[in-house]
Amino acid sequence: MSRPPRSPEETLKIRKKILKVSLDIISNDGYPNFSMRKLASKLGLTATTIYQYFLNKDEIYLAVVEQGFQMLYDKMYESINPEDPPETILRNMLYSYIRFGVEESNLYNIMMVWRVPKYYDFLGTAVEEAAHREMETALRVLELAQSCILACDFMDNKSDEDKEDIVLEIICSIHGFISLWNSQVIDYIFSTGKQTISDKRIYRFIDSIINSVGK
């Protein structure tokens, strides 16, 4: 007798488990060493079973990254209180971005740091649609960040070129902070040795960026 089809809940649970283990493998071994056989071994499943949920390893990788960008977008969006002044909204949004970057460091590295395949690498392939979804989710993060920055008073009377430069400066500064923290290089910058991250430190850094671009 054949096995009855899995319920939507069971299917979702298995897909989530596949993505979680895939993230662990990619983080530890690198994307080039990620394979369906290795994934199946870690999951205790056959590769054939995994193919019932994903087309190939590229689709799994894209789903991992898309999930990461969706998580980041949700955290940024949830930090926004429309009743707050624009600069407060920006501060809280950037805080949520940094917190995601340091708390989900493995995922952030794959999304933002490592040289891994991007949308254009998948054009004309069987996973082009999945790559498009991943790119669209990533762009939503960028659009939300841009909208919060552009709404601030310090952007008034700026040329379009200056606005682009300021958006880039803020995003690069935040990314640099996360990268230095996750790599522990930031420990070498301070004579006090091992550093601890705190809300106070994060907001102090954010305020320094806003004060700098607002001059």
What is the pLDDT at residue 201? 87
Residue 35 phi/psi, 5-degree rounding, is -140, 155
Q: Which domain holds residue 161?
A: 56-213
Shared-domain flag, residues 48 and 71: no
Q: Domain tally for the chain?
A: 2
pLDDT tens digits for 55-108? 999 999 999 999 999 999 999 999 999 999 999 999 999 999 999 999 999 999
Shared-domain flag, residues 33 and 95: no
What is the pLDDT at residue 193? 60
Rounded to two decimals, the pTM is: 0.90
Q: Are 99 and 75 in contact (CB under 8 A)?
A: yes
Torsional class of 123: left (φ above 0), alpha (ψ -120 to 50), beta (otherwise)? beta
Residue 3, domain CATH: 1.10.10.60
Shared-domain flag, residues 3 and 62: no
pLDDT tens digits for 189-210? 765 666 677 888 899 999 999 9
Quick check: 5 pLDDT over 70?
no
CB < 8 Å & 24+ apart, contacts of 56-61: 56/126, 56/127, 58/117, 58/122, 58/125, 58/127, 58/130, 59/127, 59/130, 60/18, 60/19, 60/22, 61/22, 61/26, 61/31, 61/34, 61/116, 61/117
> 202: which residues sit within 8 A by CB, 6+ positions away?
95, 98, 99
DSSP 67: H
Residue with tokens 């917190």: 99
Q: Are 149 and 173 in contact (CB under 8 A)?
A: no
Shared-domain flag, residues 40 and 76: no
Shared-domain flag, residues 103 and 199: yes
d(CA 42, CA 25): 9
